[in-house]
Structure 1
């Protein structure tokens, strides 16, 4: 019965075509998964992580190596030292990074792990406790892209082309253990599973047994089935996000109109999917979703910090999720050169003739070369010009806009141009010394204007990246 159901799951998950990387701790779940895949004729590669947190961890690695030798299957073992912080989260990140490496090295397109219906029930209950909403009720997916974090605290990355599958998610843990006993398969016991130090363990030892007393031995299977139904509903939210959302390298945005058109539960489901897709490192809970929902009635420019390095902005027409990127410190540029930045490319090109013609393109300006080196003599472009600086604007920056007598704060220029709050910090200025010559793509300085005395002109062209990172 077990083997027939297992084969059915493999067929449904399209996991029969190998090689498949199997995450093997040595515990009963991963051992049964590995042996069952092997018996089903699936080529496997085992991956085991030794965190060195227990005296017996070396024996776990030896067990996995011995089983690999018995099955004639290659085994990869990685010893990992965890840093300070949430050890469970750090271990999970290290584990999946290693699985990705093994998959890439072996040419595998699938990674299989041994989560059972009990693990699913524990996950759903943990998510309920913290109010994670529909996406939390959905628990773990039985298949999907392998998500990994490059380092502790970093955002998730999706391993292109590599799937993560959980063939045992429809089996109760007692069924898996019964199969192991019936087949005479040995496994390792992790002593840390017996402690109540972790919330998951407390749910496993105390909450689930109480629920099973009330609902019977199939309680965990019913919870897992409910999670599957919630995943289908969550899939509806994912489809809706795909239609109305706009993904960016540093996050994404959803139109206010699309959110306001939904009722409460559907709106929260879309917000949860927005955060899952655009800020996967954030821990999604009901309190977070309600804080984001309040932005719908807030003034444009209001923001909510929802996770370290992640903010949600209420712009004029959308909610925008932004994730902080590494700081860009600016660049020097000379006439006759082009400079690439994370935000776009600026080129300064000397012109053979001075042409004072109006150009409606805000990303192109023709200016007097004297603005770049006012102290230089005539024919200044033939001399090494003073390098200009292209940088992000700062509070207190001022510009004398073309045609004005006085100066104006760059922040006011951005406000007048109705630059969305979520994009203001991405705007650049071109400076010569302390003088702002151009709020790039928006306003030119009076000092750079063409005059009847202009002898040499420079064309400034700005090619913005389609999606610039958050500053």
Structure 2
């Protein structure tokens, strides 16, 4: 028996524990978002309306914004409006750029106003259109599995409802909604499928939409099965160090279906299938060095080493961080690194202060100027490595020590004024070492906070 829109919405809310959440509704003014707005209100779910005005349809766009605001007053909920300039939509295709702009804005509202979820009114017909769009773009199993009903903070409670069912719901409840005239224009690929292609299939194959949804479900199950099998079989090729991941590519090269295996190993870091092909190309190349090739996804950064691919979460480009250490400070926590500072008089046996522990720096207090500070590596940095007479660029030092780009960017440098005293976890500067003339010693130790 076919379920009503109300029943499908209620089931979704129950299964996804949405009843007590604070929800931001992405509202266009069309029948889909009007229906979802009504359902949220009827079920007493706390929500607010967010509407984007791209000013692409003149007065029609402005009237949509007024309609959205009036509806928020009707339901006594908060209303957020964002008006975008035409220049903001020029960088790429209008539809894809508009999507990025609105989701960035929705995310900002959620962060500032403590919303738990973003609700969109995507429905079954949207899902089918997406399937065909991705099919023409060469998508794999994951892409052809359709839109997710719930992913991260985004929920789509009407995803299993057809467009016709939603229209019947708004008519049955006498709800007004807006018609977007641009939906009738087939110059956009999605509209072309909606207006031209899919109606032909409806005439020829009456049940094809239902079959398509079933096929998407089968593809999703197949994709998840492959992911689990690859992850289990090749877990020995993957090692973790703190938050970073290393995949042994050299050992994968001899495997059958190596491209697909690597894709599934890389996928959780949002790398595409094409990136997996490029990574393999680097390691299969007989020209030049393998190390130092960089790859990016929207969330991660990967660098090739001699045998492995080193993967790390992208560090957002922000103002450089500097952490100061005063003369009276005894410890400082910098992200996950705890620096412990101690002072003592030098003993007659100076060997007592010498150590091969790279996480311990023993320094001559007389050579230091407080406050000391910790910072990241910068281009052009140099120091005089312990045991050497000449200065060396840190970039060259890191290459010699086989420190890749990701690890280099994570290193903390302990500095006195403009001088680098210690590359944390590696080596001190020779100018600050203790010797037979040292009277006072400062010792700095570092450990990660999750160590025992």
Structure 1 length-normalised TM: 0.73
SS at match of 2:51: strand
The change in CA–CA distance for 1:135 and 1:417 in structure 2 (over 3 A counts) is: same
Match of 1:7 in 2: 7
**8 A Cα contact 1:50 1:58, kept in partner:** no
The change in CA–CA distance for 1:248 and 1:174 in structure 2 (over 3 A counts) is: farther
Match of 1:349 in 2: 342
Match of 1:376 in 2: none
**8 A Cα contact 1:413 1:443, kept in partner:** no
SS at match of 2:410: coil
Match of 2:93 in 1: none
Match of 2:267 in 1: 272
Q: Which runs of 5+ in 2 are unaligned?
A: 90-96
The change in CA–CA distance for 1:115 and 1:341 in structure 2 (over 3 A counts) is: same
- Aligned match for 2:53, one of 48, 51, 56: 51
What's the C-alpha RMSD, in Å, of the aligned pairs?
Answer: 4.0
Could you give the per-residue CA deviations for residues 383-420 of structure 1, whole angstroms, max 9, x where no partner exists?
xx455454333455444333334444433432343323
- Aligned match for 1:437, one of 395, 398, 421: 421
- Aligned match for 2:219, one of 206, 223, 230: 230
Provide the rounded CA distance (Å) in 2 between the counterparts of 1:61 and 1:395. Answer: 49
Q: How many angstroms does 1:455 deviate by? A: 1.4
Provide the rounded CA distance (Å) in 1 between the counterparts of 2:268 and 2:428. Answer: 41
2:334 is the alignment partner of 1:323: no
- Aligned match for 1:128, one of 132, 135, 138: 135
- Aligned match for 2:403, one of 395, 408, 419: 419
Q: Which runs of 5+ in 1 are unaligned?
A: 147-163, 277-283, 373-384
The change in CA–CA distance for 1:430 and 1:394 in structure 2 (over 3 A counts) is: same
Q: Alignment length, in residue pairs?
A: 421
- Aligned match for 1:174, one of 145, 152, 164: 164
Match of 1:306 in 2: 296
Stretch moving more, 184-193 or 226-235: 226-235
The change in CA–CA distance for 1:456 and 1:421 in structure 2 (over 3 A counts) is: same
Structure 2 counterparts to residues 159-238 of structure 1, below 5 A: 164-181=154-171, 184-196=174-186, 198-212=188-202, 216-236=205-225
Match of 1:158 in 2: none
Q: How many angstroms does 1:174 deviate by? A: 2.8
Q: How many angstroms does 1:77 deviate by? A: 1.8
Stretch moving more, 449-458 or 324-333: 324-333
The change in CA–CA distance for 1:19 and 1:314 in structure 2 (over 3 A counts) is: same
**8 A Cα contact 1:336 1:350, kept in partner:** no
2:41 is the alignment partner of 1:29: no
Provide the rounded CA distance (Å) in 1 between the counterparts of 2:246 and 2:197. Answer: 38
**8 A Cα contact 1:234 1:269, kept in partner:** no
